[in-house]
C-alpha cells in the first residue's frame, strides 16, 4: 500500500487561501522586523549594556518583558536627568506594547498554520487516504511542516541578528541625541525661522541645552549631525576627503558645477588651492591690491556729498567687486565690468533657490547668467594666450595658465574664476559694512581707531611716503576691530560636510552618508569662550592668540579660505580712508542673517568731511593723553 501524499498547508486550487496566507505571513514578518529594528535603535540610544536577549537551546528569542521593565526604568531616570527632553511617542508605544505585539504575531502565525494543516488533514481523511502519523521524536508541529520550519527559522535569524547587533554596538559609539523632526521636512522650518531672527543661534542653543554640544537633526532634506563643539568642528575642518567631503544644497552644487574648487576633492583641489593661496600671499599681489584698493576707495569717496545718505552696503560691494575682478582676471572698470557685475548679481540670486532647472525658474536664469560670464572669461583667457605669458603673474588666470598640469583646462579655469567670486564678493563688503555698524554703536572704539589711523597718516605724510600693505596690517587696534567684527558678524555661519565613512569622535558616531554641520556662530558667541559674547569689545583681542580653535571665521584645514589675508587688507584700507576723511551719523538698521549676512536697509549713513583742523585737534588730544 502506497503512502498518502504529504499534507500541504494550502490547496493550490484555492488561490484565495494561498494569497491570504502569504499576505498575512508577509505582514507579520515585516512587523516583526520593524519591531526588532526599533528595539535595536532604542538599545543603541539608551546605551544599555544589560542583556535584553536570552538564548534557550538552539533557538534565540527576545526577553521582552525584562526589556520593557528595564527600558521604562531607564527612561524614568533619563527623564529625571534631562527634564526638558520631549516625549518620544514612537518609543513609548513600542516600550509599552512590544511584548503583546510580538506574542500576538507569533501566536497568530502558529494558529493560522495549525488551522490550515488540520483542514488539509481532514480533507485527506475524507478522500480515504491514510492519515499521516507524526513521529513522537518530532515533538512539535513545527518540525514536521516545512512552512512552519521556515517561519521558525526566519524568526530565529531575526533574533540572532538583533543579538549580534547588540554585541557589536557595545564596541561602537552611539549616535548623538536629538530628533529628526517631521517626515521629509525634518526641522528645516524651525531652523529657517530662527535664522531670520536677530538670534539665529537660538535653534542650536535650544538643542544644545537639551542634547549637548553635538546633536542630530534633519535640515535641508538630509539627516545631519550638528556640532557646536569647537574641538569636534576643528576635527571636521582638518579631516581629508577620505573622511568628509563638501556638502551643499542641490541648487548651489548645480550652479557651481562638478569642477568647482568649492566642490572637487583630492589632488586637483589641493593643487588649485595651493597655487591660489601662494599667489594671494605674495608681496607682489598685496602691493597691487593696495594700489587698486586705494584707487577705487578714493574714487568712490570723491562722489560722496555732505548731508546726503550713503548706502554703505552698496558702496563697499562696488569697491570690493572691482578689486576682486582685477585680482582674478585683470579687468578694469568699464562696460565689461558693468556687464559682469550685472550677470553676477543674477547668478548669485539663485544660490539658495529651488533645484528646478526649467525655463522661467530662478535656477535656470542663474545658470544662463553664469554661461554669459564664463564666455567673457574665456575671451580673456584666449587674449592672454595670444599675447603671451609674463614671467611674473599679474592675476589668478596667469597663475593657473602657467601651471603645467593637464587637468587645468581652459573651461575649468573659466568656471572657477566665477566660483571664486562668490565668497570674495560677498564676505569682504559685509565685513566692511558690519565694522562701520559696530563702530557707530561704540564711540570709544571709534575714537581709538581714528586716532591710530590719523597718527599713521601724519607719520607717512612727514616721511613723504605712500602707505604700503604692511603699514595697514601694522595697525594693531584696527586689526582687533576687524577680528571682533568677524567674531560677532559670523559672515560664514558654518560649513557642511558629508561623511564618507563611519566616524567616531569624542564618544559620538557620525554615520556614513550623513551630513555634518560645523556651526561656527554658536562657538563664537559662547559665554564659556568669550566674556559678554554679544558685546562689541575689540580690546579683548589685544595680545591674544587668534589661532585658537574657538575662532574660525574663515574655516580651516585644507579648505581654509586662501584670501583671508586679502580680506583683512581690504578692510584695513577702507577703514583707514573712511575714518580719516569723514565723520558720520548712522541711521537705525538691523542685520539679516539668512540666507546670507546683510543689512536690512543697506546701512544708510550721513557723512561729513573732516577738516584738517578737526584732525589736528584729535591728534593733539591723543598726544596729551
Let me know if 615 is exposed, middle or buried by CB neighbors in 10 A (0-12, 13-18, 19+).
middle
Helix (H, G, I), strand (E, B) or coil at 590: coil
In the chain the first and final C-alpha atoms are separated, in Å, by 124
Q: Which of 572, 490, 584 is nearest to 534 (CA)?
A: 490
Ramachandran bin of 45, using left for φ above 0, alpha for ψ from -120 to 50, beta for the remaining angles? alpha
Nearest CA-CA partner of 163 in 72, 29, 60, 70:
60
- Distance, in Å, from the CA atom of 78 to the CA atom of 601, rounded to the nearest integer, reads 48
Query: d(Cα 27, Cα 521) in Å, to the nearest integer?
Result: 48
Residue 561 near residue 281 (C-beta atoms within 8 A) = no
Three-state secondary structure call for residue 240: coil
Given a contact cutoff of 8 angstroms between Cβ atoms, the answer to whether 542 and 487 are in contact is no
* Beta-carbon count within 10 A of 249 CB: 18
The pairing of beta strand 515-519 with beta strand 222-227: parallel
Residues sharing a CB contact under 8 Å with residue 45, sequence separation 6 or more, in sequence order: 174, 175, 177
Q: Is residue 161 marked as binding?
A: no
CA dist 424 → 328, 420, 487, 499, 520 (Å): 11, 7, 18, 27, 19
DSSP assigned state of 7:
P
Q: Using an 8 Å Cβ cutoff, are 397 and 381 in contact?
A: yes
Position of cell 536577549? 53
Q: Which residues pair with 227 in a beta bridge?
A: 214, 518
Cα–Cα distance for residue pair 158/39, rounded to 1 Å: 12
Which grid cell is 44? Answer: 543603541
Phi-psi region of 324 (alpha: psi -120 to 50; beta: other; left: phi over 0): alpha
Annotated binding site for heme: 561
Annotated binding site: 561
Amino acid at each position: 500500500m502506497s503512502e498518502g501524499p504529504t499534507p500541504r498547508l494550502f490547496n493550490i486550487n484555492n488561490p484565495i487561501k494561498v494569497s491570504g496566507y502569504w499576505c498575512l505571513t508577509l505582514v507579520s514578518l515585516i512587523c516583526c522586523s520593524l519591531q526588532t529594528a526599533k528595539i535595536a535603535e532604542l538599545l543603541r540610544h539608551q546605551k544599555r549594556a544589560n542583556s535584553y536577549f536570552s538564548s534557550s537551546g538552539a533557538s534565540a528569542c527576545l526577553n521582552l518583558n525584562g526589556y520593557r521593565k528595564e527600558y521604562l526604568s531607564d527612561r524614568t531616570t533619563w527623564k529625571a536627568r534631562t527634564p526638558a527632553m520631549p516625549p518620544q511617542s514612537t518609543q513609548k508605544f513600542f516600550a509599552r506594547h512590544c511584548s503583546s505585539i510580538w506574542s500576538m504575531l507569533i501566536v497568530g502565525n502558529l494558529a493560522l498554520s495549525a488551522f490550515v494543516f488540520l483542514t488539509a488533514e481532514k480533507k485527506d481523511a475524507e478522500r480515504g487516504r491514510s492519515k499521516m502519523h507524526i513521529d513522537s521524536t518530532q515533538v512539535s508541529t513545527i518540525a514536521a511542516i516545512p512552512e512552519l520550519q521556515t517561519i521558525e527559522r526566519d524568526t530565529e535569524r531575526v533574533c540572532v541578528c538583533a543579538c549580534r547587533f547588540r554585541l557589536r554596538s557595545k564596541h561602537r559609539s552611539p549616535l548623538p541625541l536629538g530628533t529628526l523632526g517631521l517626515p521629509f521636512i525634518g526641522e528645516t522650518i524651525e531652523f529657517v525661522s530662527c535664522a531670520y531672527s536677530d538670534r539665529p543661534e537660538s535653534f542650536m542653543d535650544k538643542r544644545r541645552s537639551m542634547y549637548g554640544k553635538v546633536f542630530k537633526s534633519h535640515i535641508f532634506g538630509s539627516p545631519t549631525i550638528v556640532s557646536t563643539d569647537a574641538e569636534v568642528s576643528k576635527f571636521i575642518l582638518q579631516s581629508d576627503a577620505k573622511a568628509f567631503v563638501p556638502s551643499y544644497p542641490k541648487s548651489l552644487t548645480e550652479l557651481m558645477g562638478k569642477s568647482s574648487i568649492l566642490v572637487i576633492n583630492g589632488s586637483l583641489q589641493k593643487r588649485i588651492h595651493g597655487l591660489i593661496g601662494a599667489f594671494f600671499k605674495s608681496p607682489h599681489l598685496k602691493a597691487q591690491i593696495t594700489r587698486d584698493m586705494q584707487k577705487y576707495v578714493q574714487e568712490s569717496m570723491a562722489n560722496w556729498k555732505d548731508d546726503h545718505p550713503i548706502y554703505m552696503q552698496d558702496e563697499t560691494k562696488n569697491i570690493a567687486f572691482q578689486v576682486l575682478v582685477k585680482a582674478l582676471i585683470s579687468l578694469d572698470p568699464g562696460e565689461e565690468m558693468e556687464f559682469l557685475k550685472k550677470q553676477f548679481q543674477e547668478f548669485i540670486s539663485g544660490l539658495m533657490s529651488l533645484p528646478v532647472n526649467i525655463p522661467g525658474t530662478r535656477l535656470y536664469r542663474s545658470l544662463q547668467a553664469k554661461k554669459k560670464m564664463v564666455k567673457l572669461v574665456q575671451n580673456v583667457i584666449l587674449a592672454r594666450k595670444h599675447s603671451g605669458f609674463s614671467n611674473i603673474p599679474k592675476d589668478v588666470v596667469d597663475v593657473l595658465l602657467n601651471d603645467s598640469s593637464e587637468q587645468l583646462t581652459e573651461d575649468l579655469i573659466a568656471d572657477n574664476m566665477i566660483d571664486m567670486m562668490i565668497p570674495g564678493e560677498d564676505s569682504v563688503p559685509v565685513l566692511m559694512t558690519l565694522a562701520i555698524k559696530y563702530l557707530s554703536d561704540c564711540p570709544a572704539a571709534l575714537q581709538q581707531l581714528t586716532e591710530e589711523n590719523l597718527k599713521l597718516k601724519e607719520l607717512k605724510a612727514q616721511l613723504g611716503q605712500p602707505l604700503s600693505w604692511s603699514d595697514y596690517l601694522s595697525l594693531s587696534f584696527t586689526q582687533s576691530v576687524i577680528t571682533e567684527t568677524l567674531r560677532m558678524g559670523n559672515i560664514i555661519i558654518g560649513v557642511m560636510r558629508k561623511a564618507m565613512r563611519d566616524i567616531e569622535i569624542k564618544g559620538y558616531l557620525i554615520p556614513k552618508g550623513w551630513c555634518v554641520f560645523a556651526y561656527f556662530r554658536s562657538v563664537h558667541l559662547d559665554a564659556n569662550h568669550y566674556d559678554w559674547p554679544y558685546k562689541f569689545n575689540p580690546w579683548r583681542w589685544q595680545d591674544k592668540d587668534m589661532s585658537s580653535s574657538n575662532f574660525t571665521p574663515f574655516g580651516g584645514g585644507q579648505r581654509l579660505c586662501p584670501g583671508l589675508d586679502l580680506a583683512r587688507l581690504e578692510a584695513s584700507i577702507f577703514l583707514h580712508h573712511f575714518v580719516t576723511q569723514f565723520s558720520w551719523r548712522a541711521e537705525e538698521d538691523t542685520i539679516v542673517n539668512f540666507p546670507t549676512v546683510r543689512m536690512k536697509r543697506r546701512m544708510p549713513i550721513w557723512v561729513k568731511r573732516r577738516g584738517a583742523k578737526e584732525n589736528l585737534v584729535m591728534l593733539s588730544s591723543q598726544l596729551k593723553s
